[in-house]
């Protein structure tokens, strides 16, 4: 589906395709515990978010140099361009790299080597969102924000990802306050596996402008009413929800009910190398599995620009 769209929920580390993982492993002398790309693909059977995260963090071992991050981002942008993506707000997980001895500068400068000329090369404008790992400590998040200070001209905002249950948004109050004081935009994953209360807390305590996933809002009519009233965007990732078993089959996905409720929904790919599809593939999948019509698909594409951090002049140019 090549309808022009913005992608607002995309982890750059989740775009690492098996072929590139093996190429980078060879380049960096890293041994992967899989015989070949086929054996690796066979490992992509997930029971829940944690079983995916285990593999996601394991494969990051191949990302070591600026050039690796540049190649990773260029591969994503080239692929996204073929699927109608015109603007991408890209998550990255610096703590997962710093823990392996790869510093913030290598990650940001490396990504920037691809992002800096993405408009000219791929026809995609980009922004970077630094995510804190919610299963790491609040102090570690604060240290990470400190390490990002030299690079803030390249970072539009902060997000919160990784294992959700047991790590409520309130744990990160202080670092979100510090991020707001630095002029950074704020988003957070909430209501993917965690309860609707985490969505409310992300809004009230962290002051987020968008909710990543937010699927479980549907368990609370009061929360749905608030999200509709305040036009809070939700960045849904339908193929991710099926692969991580948040929904049993795509045909059961609540997206149509969410649109009917008046929620500002967007469709995104999350970790496309692991979940079987890029942004356009997610649009195609919801069209065929959920019977969405042209008007609803256009609404989803329009919502992606409305929900983006582009200003409205930029938005018109991109569309
Ligand atoms: N949820 C939480 N953390 C993540 C995800 C996700 O879908 N992808 C990468 N990190
Ligand atoms: Zn995500």
Within a domain: 299? yes
Q: Answer yes or no: are the C-beta atoms of 275 and 17 closer than 8 Å.
A: no
Give the ligand 1 atom nearest the CA of 56.
9
192 lines ligand 1 (CB under 6 A): yes
Which mutation among 271, 272, 274, 275 tests ligand 1's pocket best, with the greatest number of atoms within 8 A of CB?
Answer: 271
271 lines ligand 1 (CB under 6 A): yes
Within a domain: 298? yes
Model pLDDT, residue 317: 64
Note the ligand closest to the C-alpha atom of 212: 2
HSE at residue 11, side-chain half, CA atoms within 13 A, is 29
Residue 230 marked as a ligand binder = no
Total number of domains constituting the chain:
1
Within a domain: 317? no
185-190/157-161 β-pairing: parallel
Residue 313 CA to ligand 1 centre (angstroms)? 31
Model pLDDT, residue 311: 85
Locate tokens 């996601």: which residue? 56
Model pLDDT, residue 78: 98
Residue 167 marked as a ligand binder = no
Neighbours of 109 (CB within 10 A): 16
Within a domain: 241? yes
Give this complex's ipTM: 0.96
CA distance 282 to 127: 21
Q: What angle do CA 236, 239, 301 make, to 5 degrees?
A: 45
Its domain, for residue 122, covers: 5-308
Which mutation among 15, 161, 202 tests ligand 1's pocket best, with the greatest number of atoms within 8 A of CB?
Answer: 161
CA distance 80 to 194: 29
Within a domain: 280? yes
CA distance 253 to 286: 9
161 lines ligand 1 (CB under 6 A): yes
Residue 117 marked as a ligand binder = no
49 lines ligand 1 (CB under 6 A): yes
Residue 9 CA to ligand 2 centre (angstroms)? 6
Residue 313 marked as a ligand binder = no
Which mutation among 7, 8, 11, 135 tests ligand 1's pocket best, with the greatest number of atoms within 8 A of CB?
Answer: 11
Residue 268 CA to ligand 2 centre (angstroms)? 9
Within a domain: 316? no
Residue 52 sits in a domain of what CATH number? 3.20.20.140
Contacts of 40 (CB under 8 A, 6+ apart): 18, 21, 22, 32, 34
Residue 81 CA to ligand 1 centre (angstroms)? 23
Within a domain: 314? no
Strand order in the sheet with 125-133: 5-11, 85-92, 125-133, 157-161, 185-190, 210-213, 233-236, 264-267
Within a domain: 31? yes
Locate tokens 């649109």: which residue? 259
From first to last of its 319 residues, the chain has per-residue pLDDT tens of 689 999 999 999 999 999 999 999 999 999 999 999 999 999 999 999 999 999 999 999 999 999 999 999 999 999 999 999 999 999 999 999 999 999 999 999 999 999 999 999 999 999 999 999 999 999 999 999 999 999 999 999 999 999 999 999 999 999 999 999 999 999 999 999 999 999 999 999 999 999 999 999 999 999 999 999 999 999 999 999 999 999 999 999 999 999 999 999 999 999 999 999 999 999 999 999 999 999 999 999 999 999 999 987 666 666 6
* Active site amino acids: 192
189 lines ligand 1 (CB under 6 A): yes
Asked whether the whole model's pTM tops 0.90, one would answer yes
Residue 253 marked as a ligand binder = no
Q: Answer yes or no: are the C-beta atoms of 128 and 111 closer than 8 Å.
A: yes
212 lines ligand 1 (CB under 6 A): no
Residue 225 CA to ligand 2 centre (angstroms)? 24
Model pLDDT, residue 2: 81
């Amino acid at each position: 589906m090549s309808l022009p769209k913005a992608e607002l929920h995309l982890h750059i580390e989740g775009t690492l395709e098996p072929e590139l993982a093996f190429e980078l492993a060879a380049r960096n002398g890293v041994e992967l515990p899989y015989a070949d790309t086929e054996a690796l693909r066979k490992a992509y059977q997930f029971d829940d978010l944690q079983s995916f995260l285990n593999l996601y963090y394991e494969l990051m071992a191949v990302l070591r140099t600026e050039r690796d991050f540049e190649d990773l981002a260029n591969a994503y942008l080239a692929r996204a361009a073929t699927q109608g993506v015109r603007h991408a707000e890209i998550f990255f997980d610096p703590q997962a790299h710093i823990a392996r001895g790869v510093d913030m500068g290598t990650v940001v400068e490396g990504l920037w080597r691809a992002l800096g000329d993405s408009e000219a090369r791929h026809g995609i404008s980009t922004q970077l969102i630094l995510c804190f790992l919610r299963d790491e400590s609040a102090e570690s998040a604060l240290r990470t924000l400190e390490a990002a200070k030299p690079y803030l001209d390249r970072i539009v905002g902060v997000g919160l990802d990784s294992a959700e249950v047991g790590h409520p948004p309130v744990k990160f109050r202080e670092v979100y306050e510090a991020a707001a004081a630095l002029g950074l935009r704020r988003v957070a994953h909430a209501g993917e596996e965690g309860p609707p209360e985490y969505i409310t807390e992300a809004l009230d305590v962290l002051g987020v402008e968008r909710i990543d996933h937010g699927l479980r809002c549907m368990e609370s009519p009061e929360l749905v009413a608030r999200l509709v009233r305040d036009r809070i965007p939700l960045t849904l990732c339908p193929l991710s929800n099926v692969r991580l078993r948040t929904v049993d089959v795509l045909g059961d996905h609540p997206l149509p009910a969410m649109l009917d409720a008046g929620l500002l929904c967007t469709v995104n790919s999350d970790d496309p190398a692991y979940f079987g599809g890029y942004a356009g593939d997610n649009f195609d999948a919801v069209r065929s599995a959920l019977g969405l019509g042209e008007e609803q698909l256009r609404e989803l594409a329009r919502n992606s620009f409305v929900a983006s951090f582009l200003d409205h002049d930029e938005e018109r140019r991109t569309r």
